[in-house]
Amino acid sequence: MTGPVDQDTRYRVMRMLEAQPDLSQREMSRALGISLGSVNYCLRALIDKGQVKVRNFRASNNKLRYAYILTPKGAAEKARLTAGFLRRKRAEYDRLREEIEALERDMARTRGDG
């Protein structure tokens, strides 16, 4: 991905970093179901904004790895993104619930139940 990363992707990356800071970018990509390029782009943007810092550590196979740590600024941004994510998901849930109820009414009419 070469353009900006959407808010939901940033939120999901930040949430994953908070839970598992020692995941590699490839592991994050697989777990989130997004491209490695998108993960890399998002992490670079978060680092540039001072919301994530990178630390080196040695993995069990003695290779140098990185841990991505949310900074206080990053934690505040994640909280803001969480509120927006939750708002969007609740609206999506409400739309789906209404659609399901309408389909159930249609099915009941078709069967002659209502």
pLDDT along the chain (114 residues), means of 10: 70 94 92 94 94 81 80 94 94 97 94 74
Helices (H) and strands (E) in the chain, counts: 4, 2
Q: Give me the pLDDT at residue 112, please.
A: 81
Residues 6+ apart with CB under 8 A from 81: 7, 10, 11, 14
Q: Which residue has the tokens 């991505």?
A: 68
Find the helix or strand (DSSP H, E) in which 89 lies.
Answer: helix 72-111
Nearest Cα residue to 16 out of 68, 83, 71: 68
Contact 96, 44 (CB under 8 A): no
Q: Give me the pLDDT at residue 61, please.
A: 67
Q: Give me the pLDDT at residue 114, please.
A: 59
Contact 30, 46 (CB under 8 A): no
Domain ranges of the chain: 7-111
Architecture of domain 7-111: Orthogonal Bundle (1.10)
